[in-house]
Amino acid sequence: MKIHHIISDRWSPVAFSGKPVEQEKLDALFEAARWAPSSFNAQPWKFMVAPKGGNLYPVLFELLFDTNKQWAITAPVLALSMAEMVPPGRIKENRFAFHDTGMAVANLLAQATASGLMVHQMGGYDAEGAKKVLNLPVRYEPAAMIAIGYKGDPSELPSEIASREKNVRTRLPLSEFVFTRKFSD
């Protein structure tokens, strides 16, 4: 059976167009994130959101590793997802905090695809630096940097970066991660 196009249409581009993301569409991404399920409805996600031209954009951009800076410079919006690892007033860690933050980002991705927007997440950034420059309380952990925008023209990027958009997208077969009898590694 074919999966829904909201899932199959999504992919991570390296070229974004200069077209800014409309505020309404940007807000809808986080509204979608807001409705994600979470353990005990703790909603442990937080997002820093930085449209290009604002004060926060260069702060987030500077945290990126150079390999990501090369293409992420084209993104009209950068965001950083963060997980609240320890709920307010508690000592024990919420072991689902990262899981739930990823769920919120998955909702954001679906809304982006539905709005004609594209998203490329990045783990290649200085997470310790993010904690410092954003003054994050210790119970927060930065998760993924997120580039958001409309599809751009890859020919405006160096060819070795642009060519990444031509790479064949692959995934493991279900047989490697779905088990009905016993676990297999």
Ligand X SMILES: Cc1cc2nc3c(=O)[nH]c(=O)nc-3n(C[C@H](O)[C@H](O)[C@H](O)COP(=O)(O)O)c2cc1C
By C-beta, is 52 or 120 nearer to ligand X?
Answer: 120
Looking at residues 6 to 25 of the shown chain, list those that interact with ligand X (rule: CB under 6 A): 11-12
Q: Which of 59, 103, 124, 126 binds ligand X (CB under 6 A)?
A: 124
Tell me how far apart the terminal alpha carbons of the chain are, to the nearest angstrom.
Answer: 26
Q: Which of 60, 79, 82, 122 binds ligand X (CB under 6 A)?
A: 122
> Which residue matches tokens 């990126």?
64
> Within 10 Å of residue 182's Cβ, how many Cβ atoms?
5
What one-character DSSP code corresponds to residue 68?
Answer: H
By C-beta, is 60 or 122 nearer to ligand X?
Answer: 122
Nearest to residue 148, comparing CAs of 2, 7, 59, 22?
Answer: 22
Strand ranges, E, within 85-139: 118-122
- 144 part of the interface to ligand X, by CB under 6 A: yes
Q: Which of 81, 101, 113, 121 binds ligand X (CB under 6 A)?
A: 121
Indicate if the alpha-carbon torsion angle 39, 40, 41, 44 is positive or negative.
Answer: negative
By C-beta, is 40 or 67 nearer to ligand X?
Answer: 67
Q: Which of 45, 68, 75, 100 binds ligand X (CB under 6 A)?
A: 68
Residue numbers at the binding site for ligand X (CB under 6 A): 11-12, 68, 121-124, 144, 169
